[in-house]
């Protein structure tokens, strides 16, 4: 028997709706002798307007005492751009040292891709999660004048690169195709790019079974569209990974299906699982959001906690559900959740 302590941050917009379905499927898949104890945290636009807080230290402290965090979505047009993104979402990723941002790109059978033919897409992007241009290192000068200057300095440490590169090699090693692609822009961003390349090549020597290659990020976007089957595991920096994983979602059936995990591999802090999509305020509260990305994020959460069979059952349920969608009328958020819960239970 096992009790899973789960912190839940529904957040903004459709976050509430999709998280409810994720929890529904979680409850249905867990074995009878396992319990889940959820604590919900009211964070996001509502709290910011009410109290001015984005992520109080007391909440950050409480979150630590959980096995994992499930997050819906963060962001609202009523809050200035960047306040919740930096003050809540990125603060969580940085505080809990989520340096492995795992984002699978998988085209399930029967899901229509905008790409021609029926490409076989099954890769995973290992996006660095705690460095790069996301650290907020920069500033403005001569503000409000025509000579205004803004800088965003990308931070890349040997320590930070090596740990994520090593993680990506280990993941590639464990997959049948054993292939790892480094994506950067080392022909232009020579300082960071050369450090990434050097470390990547050094770690490669320790993984002789993994075949490697390198792509500039612009070329990688071409191959995502023209030859996505060439990818197995991809490792890249925080910003390139952000952009590439939206493209990955677009070619694998859309953002409604894209799951992610912000992983702290050491387990020193809880890892956090969230759909790649945002809060979609335009459809919030209408029961239109597809909860599948959140449900798949729950599967990643279970996988991370070692509940491998349960994770696999969720994936199979999603695969079966997606295969049956073809030609059918769209269902509501809770209808999809109910269908998935029924499949994992049965
Ligand atoms: C994502 C989002 C975030 C990111 C934003 C909201 C900070 O786009 O999870 O991909 O850039 O990482
Ligand atoms: Mn993004």
Domains of the chain, each with CATH number or no CATH:
1-101+256-346 (3.40.718.10), 113-252 (3.40.718.10)
Q: Is 338 an annotated catalytic residue?
A: no
* Phi, psi values for residue 236, rounded to 5°: -160, 175
Nearest to 16 by CA among 53, 42, 52: 42
- Which residue has 């239970």 as its token pair? 345
Cβ of 249 less than 6 Å from ligand 1: no
Mean pLDDT calculated for residue range 17-23: 98
Ligand nearest to the CA of 82: 1
CB atoms under 10 Å from CB of 323, counted, come to 12
Q: How far is CA 41 from CA 283, 303, 315, in A?
A: 22, 23, 27
Does the pLDDT of residue 31 top 80, yes or no?
A: yes
Token code pair at residue 225? 């569209």
283 is known to lie in a ligand binding site: yes
Mean pLDDT calculated for residue range 52-71: 98
- Ligand 1 center to residue 197 CA distance, Å? 25
Name the pLDDT band for 1 (thresholds 50, 70, 90).
confident
Catalytic residue among 134, 167, 232, 321: 134
Supply the pLDDT for residue 198: 98
127 is known to lie in a ligand binding site: yes
Q: Report the C-alpha gap between 217 and 187 in whole angstroms.
A: 10
Q: Give the distance from CA 228 to its chain's centroid.
A: 19
Q: Report the C-alpha gap between 52 and 262 in whole angstroms.
A: 26
Name the pLDDT band for 2 (thresholds 50, 70, 90).
confident
- Ligand 2 center to residue 22 CA distance, Å? 20
Supply the pLDDT for residue 116: 87
What's the chain's average pLDDT? Answer: 97
Does the pLDDT of residue 346 top 80, yes or no?
A: no
- Ligand 1 center to residue 242 CA distance, Å? 7
Cβ of 242 less than 6 Å from ligand 1: yes
By DSSP bridging, strand 149-152 and strand 138-141 are antiparallel
Question: In the Cβ-directed half-sphere of 63, how many Cα atoms lie within 13 Å?
Answer: 26
In the beta sheet, which residues pair with residue 262? Answer: 101, 272
Helix (H, G, I), strand (E, B) or coil at 139: strand
Name every residue whose Cβ is closer than 8 Å to that of residue 123 and which is 6 or more positions away in sequence.
Answer: 104, 105, 106, 228, 231, 232, 233, 234, 248
Q: Is 246 an annotated catalytic residue?
A: yes
Query: Cα 5–11–298 angle (5° rounding)?
Result: 45
Mean pLDDT calculated for residue range 212-239: 98
Given ligand 1 and candidates 9, 12, 90, which is best to mutate, with the most ligand atoms within 8 Å of its CB?
Answer: 90
Token code pair at residue 7? 């912190």
Q: Is 122 an annotated catalytic residue?
A: no
Residues with CB under 5 A from ligand 2 (ion): 242
Supply the pLDDT for residue 248: 97
Given ligand 1 and candidates 71, 89, 93, which is best to mutate, with the most ligand atoms within 8 Å of its CB?
Answer: 89
Question: What is the torsional sign of CA 242, 101, 261, 138?
Answer: negative
pLDDT tens-place string over residues 127-168: 999 999 999 999 999 999 999 999 999 999 999 999 999 999
Q: At what angle do helices 308-323 and 15-29 cross, to 10 degrees?
A: 120
- Ligand 2 center to residue 241 CA distance, Å? 8
pLDDT tens-place string over residues 310-343: 999 999 999 999 999 988 999 999 999 999 999 9
Supply the pLDDT for residue 264: 98
218 is known to lie in a ligand binding site: yes
Cβ of 90 less than 6 Å from ligand 1: yes
* Phi, psi values for residue 76, rounded to 5°: -155, 140
Q: Is 97 an annotated catalytic residue?
A: no
Q: Look at the pTM and tell me if it is higher than 0.95.
A: yes
281 is known to lie in a ligand binding site: yes
Name every residue whose Cβ is closer than 8 Å to that of residue 329 and which is 6 or more positions away in sequence.
Answer: none
The protein residue with its alpha carbon nearest to ligand 1, atom 9, reads 276
Q: Report the C-alpha gap between 325 and 305 in whole angstroms.
A: 30
74 is known to lie in a ligand binding site: no
- Ligand 2 center to residue 217 CA distance, Å? 16
Q: Report the C-alpha gap between 80 and 187 in whole angstroms.
A: 35
Supply the pLDDT for residue 21: 98
- Looking at ligand 1, which atom is closest to the CA of residue 260? 9
Q: What percent of the chain has pLDDT over 70?
A: 100
- Ligand 2 center to residue 81 CA distance, Å? 14
Q: 61-80 burial string, b = 16+ CB within 10 Å, else e? A: eebeebbbbbbbbbbbeebe
Supply the pLDDT for residue 326: 87
Token code pair at residue 53? 């807080």
Rg (CA), the chain: 20
Q: Is 76 an annotated catalytic residue?
A: no
Mean pLDDT calculated for residue range 93-107: 98
Q: Report the C-alpha gap between 205 and 233 in whole angstroms.
A: 17
284 is known to lie in a ligand binding site: yes
């Amino acid at each position: 028997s096992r009790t899973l302590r789960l912190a839940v941050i529904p957040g903004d917009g459709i976050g509430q709706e999709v998280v409810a379905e994720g929890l529904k499927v979680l409850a249905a898949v867990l074995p009878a002798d396992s319990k889940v104890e959820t604590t919900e945290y009211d964070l996001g636009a509502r709290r910011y307007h009410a109290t001015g807080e984005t992520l109080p230290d007391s909440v950050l402290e409480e979150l630590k005492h959980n096995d994992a965090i499930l997050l819906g979505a963060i962001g609202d047009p009523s809050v200035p751009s960047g306040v919740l993104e930096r003050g809540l979402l990125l603060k969580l990723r940085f505080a809990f040292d989520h340096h492995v941002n795992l984002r699978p790109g998988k085209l399930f059978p029967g899901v229509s891709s905008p790409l021609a033919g029926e490409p076989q897409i099954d890769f995973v992007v290992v996006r660095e999660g705690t460095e790069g241009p996301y650290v907020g290192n920069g500033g403005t000068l001569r503000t409000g004048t025509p000579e205004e200057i803004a800088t965003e300095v990308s931070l890349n440490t040997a320590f930070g690169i090596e740990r994520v590169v090593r993680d990506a090699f280990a993941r590639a090693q464990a997959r049948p195709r054993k292939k790892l692609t480094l994506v950067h822009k080392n022909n232009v961003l020579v300082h960071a790019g050369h450090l990434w390349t050097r470390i990547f090549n050094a770690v490669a020597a320790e993984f002789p079974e993994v075949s490697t290659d390198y792509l500039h990020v612009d070329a990688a976007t071409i191959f995502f569209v023209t030859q996505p089957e060439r990818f197995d595991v991809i490792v890249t920096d925080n910003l390139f990974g952000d952009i590439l994983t939206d493209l990955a979602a677009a070619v694998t059936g859309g953002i409604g299906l894209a799951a992610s995990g912000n992983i702290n591999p050491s387990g020193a802090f809880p890892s956090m699982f969230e759909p790649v999509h945002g809060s979609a305020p335009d459809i919030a509260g209408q029961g239109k959001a597809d909860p599948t990305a959140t449900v798949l994020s729950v599967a990643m959460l279970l996988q991370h906690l070692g509940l491998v069979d349960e994770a696999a059952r969720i994936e199979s349920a999603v695969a079966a559900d997606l295969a049956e969608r073809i030609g059918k009328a769209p269902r509501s958020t809770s209808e999809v959740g109910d269908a998935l819960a029924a499949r994992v239970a049965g």
